[in-house]
């Protein structure tokens, strides 16, 4: 809607860009460029910020190694109610010595559940934004169609009057 083009063309543009953060920045600029959509830009920025945060977890889910966890035996044998570490967790591989990888905490079931909840909430926010964008996007097209219909009807009326006067 922001590019006012076919989904295939927009897909070509965005899938040619390999950086997710660049996608988000381009969309933010598109909101800023179009006065019709500018009022919705703050809403997009809030969604974009959530998506940036979620992307860190998505990258971890895609690229981190699965650690086996301690298992239930240790949980049962200790007096600790903390389940962290009992189940398998995702963490950077021991060979991944990048500073970026060291920043990410391991992802266990609780973090995965939070990620899924945040993702669902963000998806609902995005769907609501798209619902608000649709009438804005369609307004000019609907006005043009109405104008074409009026002109068509006027042309038919003129043709009918000419037919009466020639008949």
Could you read off the pLDDT tens digit of each residue along the chain, which spans 167 residues? Answer: 999 999 999 999 888 998 999 999 999 999 999 999 999 999 999 999 999 999 988 888 887 777 776 665 665 566 655 555 677 777 877 777 878 777 777 788 788 899 999 999 999 999 999 999 999 999 989 999 999 999 999 999 898 888 887 76
- Least Cα distance to 44 among 139, 125, 135 occurs for 125
φ and ψ of 160, to 5 deg: -65, -40
Q: Residue 62: what pLDDT? A: 83
CA distance 42 to 48: 10
| DSSP letter for each residue of 83-119 | -TTTS-EEE--TT---HHHHHSPPB-HHHHHHHHHHH
| Residue 35 DSSP code | T
CA distances from 101 to 4, 85, 91, 165 (A): 39, 19, 9, 84
Tokens 């953060």 identify what position?
21
| pTM beyond cutoff 0.85 | no
């Amino acid at each position: 809607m922001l590019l006012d083009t076919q989904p295939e063309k927009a897909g070509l543009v965005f899938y040619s860009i390999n950086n997710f953060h660049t996608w988000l920045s381009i969309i933010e600029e598109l909101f800023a460029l179009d006065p019709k959509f500018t009022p919705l830009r703050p809403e997009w920025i809030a969604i974009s910020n959530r998506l940036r945060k979620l992307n860190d977890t998505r990258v971890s889910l895609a690229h981190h190694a699965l650690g086996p966890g301690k298992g239930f035996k240790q949980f049962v044998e200790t007096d600790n109610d903390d389940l962290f570490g009992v189940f398998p967790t995702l963490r950077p591989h021991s060979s991944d010595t990048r500073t970026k990888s060291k920043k990410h905490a391991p992802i266990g079931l609780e973090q995965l559940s939070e990620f899924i909840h945040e993702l669902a909430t963000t998806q609902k926010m995005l769907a609501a934004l798209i619902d608000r964008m649709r009438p804005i996007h369609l307004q000019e097209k609907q006005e043009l169609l109405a104008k074409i219909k009026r002109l068509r009807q006027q042309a038919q009326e003129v043709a009918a009057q000419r037919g009466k006067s020639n008949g």
